[in-house]
């Protein structure tokens, strides 16, 4: 390829020579042997002489000499390689710059609260994907601590085996141990639905755990009731449907859907009353970093508001 580029450049640069000589090819009728001679002409221009793009009939070696031809080919090959390397260099160095620009200055520390069916689970997944934080729920942390047989995990297991609620001081110990692990320190963390009570919020502060942003997903109770009551679960696949917003297309699947025993209107209202009583008190501990987000929107719209709120708090 380089040699053909060099040849093309050479033909353009020796227009005066090409004007004087053009190749004439003859073929022996009896033996089919091709020979090339040079004849002088005043009728063909240099452009017309170079019409053959493959240059099959141009004996450049004879025209310019082997040594000069090789020297010029090497020159054009080197120039072409240098041009390719220069063109590739910016693309190789641009990626790290973009990555560095996108990376946050410090790991985010976020608390998110929301009533049942407020869309908190969906937003947690989006926050985790965007900011790379460690998503933490008290249930997951308790189970991990028990499985790892940590000191607080062993204490928690004693209460759980006895069918008792795990005390706040034990739960705080589990949370504090988890937040002290390296992934939370380097990547940041997202506490999902914790603290749930004013006592837990106070204990968390006393343990030296502080957050950058407290997000509260605000959804009207009547919407929450509609979301919960309409939920159904496929016992075969475990997939959750909603009879109003996302019903199954398959009639066979629809026929086997089940409703959770606590997804009735009466029980949902009781759960909401308990939630509001606790969260209103918890919000008082985070007034300086709290952001209330309208959760009665499409998930992408909610995520956009949350993203702006987190970035504003991190920049403060």
Q: Buried b vs exposed e over 232-268: b needs ≥16 C-beta within 10 Å?
A: bbbeeeeeebbeeeeebeeeebeeebeeeeebeeeeb
Among 120, 155, 232, 313, the one annotated catalytic: 120
To the nearest 10°, the Cα dihedral for 266, 270, 273, 274? -160
Whether 34 sits among the annotated catalytic residues: the reply is: no
Structure tokens given for 304: 């956009």
Whether 120 sits among the annotated catalytic residues: the reply is: yes
Give the chain's end-to-end CA distance (angstroms, integer): 57
Which segments of 46-119 does DSSP mark as H helices, in order? 46-49, 60-64, 66-102
Cα 260 from Cα 298, distance rounded (Å): 25
Residue 171 phi/psi, 5-degree rounding, is: -60, -40
Whether 68 sits among the annotated catalytic residues: the reply is: no
Among 109, 178, 227, 231, the one annotated catalytic: 231
Whether 271 sits among the annotated catalytic residues: the reply is: yes
Cα 218 from Cα 131, distance rounded (Å): 22
For 35, the enclosing helix (H) or strand (E) is strand 34-40
Cα 53 from Cα 31, distance rounded (Å): 27
228 exposure class (CB count in 10 Å sphere: 0-12, 13-18, 19+): buried
Among 155, 196, 232, 313, the one annotated catalytic: 196
Among 128, 143, 269, 271, the one annotated catalytic: 271
User: Do the strands 188-192 and 108-114 form a parallel or antiparallel pair, or are they unpaired?
Assistant: parallel
Whether 27 sits among the annotated catalytic residues: the reply is: no
Task: Give the up-direction half-sphere exposure of residue 12: CA atoms within 13 A in the CB hemisphere.
Answer: 6
Among 68, 71, 239, 260, the one annotated catalytic: 260
Residues 6+ apart with CB under 8 A from 222: none
Name the DSSP class of 285: G
Structure tokens given for 130: 């965007």
Q: Catalytic positions, please?
A: 120, 196, 231, 260, 271
């Amino acid at each position: 390829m380089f040699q053909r580029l060099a040849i093309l450049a050479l033909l353009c640069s020796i227009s005066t020579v090409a004007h004087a000589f053009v190749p004439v090819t003859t073929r022996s009728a009896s033996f089919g042997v091709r020979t090339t001679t040079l004849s002088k002409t005043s009728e063909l221009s240099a452009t017309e002489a170079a019409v053959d793009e493959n240059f099959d009939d141009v004996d450049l070696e004879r025209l310019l000499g082997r040594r000069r031809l090789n020297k010029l080919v090497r020159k054009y090959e080197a120039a072409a390689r240098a041009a390719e390397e220069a063109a590739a260099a910016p693309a190789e160095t641009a990626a790290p710059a973009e990555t560095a620009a996108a990376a946050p200055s410090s790991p985010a520390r976020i608390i998110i609260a929301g009533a049942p069916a407020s869309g908190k689970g969906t937003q947690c997944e989006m926050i985790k994907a965007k900011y790379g934080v460690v998503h933490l729920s008290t249930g997951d942390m308790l189970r991990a601590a028990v499985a790892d047989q940590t000191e607080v995990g062993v204490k928690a297991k004693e209460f759980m085996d006895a069918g008792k609620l795990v005390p706040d001081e034990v739960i705080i110990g589990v949370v504090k141990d988890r937040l002290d692990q390296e992934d939370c320190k380097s990547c940041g963390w997202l506490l999902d639905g914790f603290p749930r009570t004013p006592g837990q919020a106070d204990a968390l502060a006393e343990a030296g755990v502080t957050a950058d942003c407290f997000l509260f997903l605000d959804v009207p109770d009547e919407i929450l009731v509609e979301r919960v009551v309409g939920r159904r679960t496929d016992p075969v696949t475990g997939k959750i449907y909603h009879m109003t917003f996302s019903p199954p297309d398959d009639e066979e699947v629809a026929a086997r859907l089940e409703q959770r025993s606590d997804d009735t209107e009466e029980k949902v209202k009781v759960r909401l009353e308990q939630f509001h009583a606790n969260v209103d008190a918890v919000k008082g501990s985070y007034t300086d970093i709290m952001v209330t987000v309208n959760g009665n929107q499409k998930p992408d719209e909610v995520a956009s508001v949350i993203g702006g709120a987190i970035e504003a708090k991190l920049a403060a």
